[in-house]
């Protein structure tokens, strides 16, 4: 199942407010499609950060995918500080790949929760090849919600 960011906010906005969490209105808007260049430039187990689109383009053994940098705790931008120990990690070490700078939520390379305070994993966004250039394009305006969609990879 996929959903646009606008649809997601329309469906969940009031629910988030009811839970006392920030609604979509307070979330900085990611804009558009990131051009990650040729597939060969996307290195296994590395994440390339695209700040305007607030996402990482990644490659695992299955192929290329995109993970949002929008922390699902209170929506700080995780940016590109992966693999850095927080000052008070309490021995957590480097089990996480992405570390939110605001309250130190940790996520795996695929955006699953390693430790809170977040209680939600990172969103995934669809990736495709540009039909003209062959570049990898990652669309931050669409959110992949189901486990099946999140498991999809671009095999390029």
User: Applying CB under 6 A, does 99 fall inside the site for ligand FES?
Assistant: no
* Both tokens assigned to 131: 């039909």
Are residues 126 and 148 in contact, defined by beta-carbon separation less than 8 angstroms? no
Are residues 142 and 2 in contact, defined by beta-carbon separation less than 8 angstroms? yes
Closest distance to ligand FES from the beta carbon of 138 (Å):
21
Q: Return the residue of 53, 82, 105, 140 that touches ligand FES, per CB under 6 A.
A: 105
User: Applying CB under 6 A, does 74 fall inside the site for ligand FES?
Assistant: yes
User: Applying CB under 6 A, does 28 fall inside the site for ligand FES?
Assistant: no
Say how far apart CA 8 and CA 36 lie, in whole Å: 25
Which residue number, 79 or 149, has a Cβ lying nearer to ligand FES?
A: 79
Say how far apart CA 120 and CA 106 lie, in whole Å: 11
Applying CB under 6 A, the span of 26-34, 42-50, 51-59, 73-81 interacting with ligand FES comes to 73-81
Applying CB under 6 A, the span of 17-25, 71-79, 131-139, 148-156 interacting with ligand FES comes to 71-79
Q: Identify the CA nearest to 34 among candidates 65, 2, 77.
A: 65
Say how far apart CA 149 and CA 32 lie, in whole Å: 20
Enumerate binding residues for ligand FES (CB under 6 A): 71, 73-74, 76, 100, 102-103, 105, 117-118
């Amino acid at each position: 199942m996929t959903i646009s960011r606008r649809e997601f906010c329309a469906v969940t906005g009031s629910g988030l407010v009811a839970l006392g969490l920030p609604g979509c209105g307070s979330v900085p808007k990611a804009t558009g499609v990131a051009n990650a260049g040729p597939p060969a430039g996307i290195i296994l187990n590395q994440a390339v950060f695209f700040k305007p689109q607030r996402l990482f383009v990644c490659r695992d053994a299955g192929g290329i995918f995109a993970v949002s940098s929008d922390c699902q705790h209170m929506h700080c931008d995780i940016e590109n500080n992966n693999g850095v120990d927080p000052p008070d990690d309490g021995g957590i070490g480097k089990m996480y790949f992405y570390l939110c700078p605001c309250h130190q939520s940790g996520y795996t390379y695929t955006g699953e929760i390693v430790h809170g305070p977040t209680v939600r994993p990172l969103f995934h966004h669809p990736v495709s090849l540009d039909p003209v250039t062959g570049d990898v394009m990652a669309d931050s305006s669409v959110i992949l919600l189901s486990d099946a969609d999140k498991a999809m990879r671009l095999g390029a």
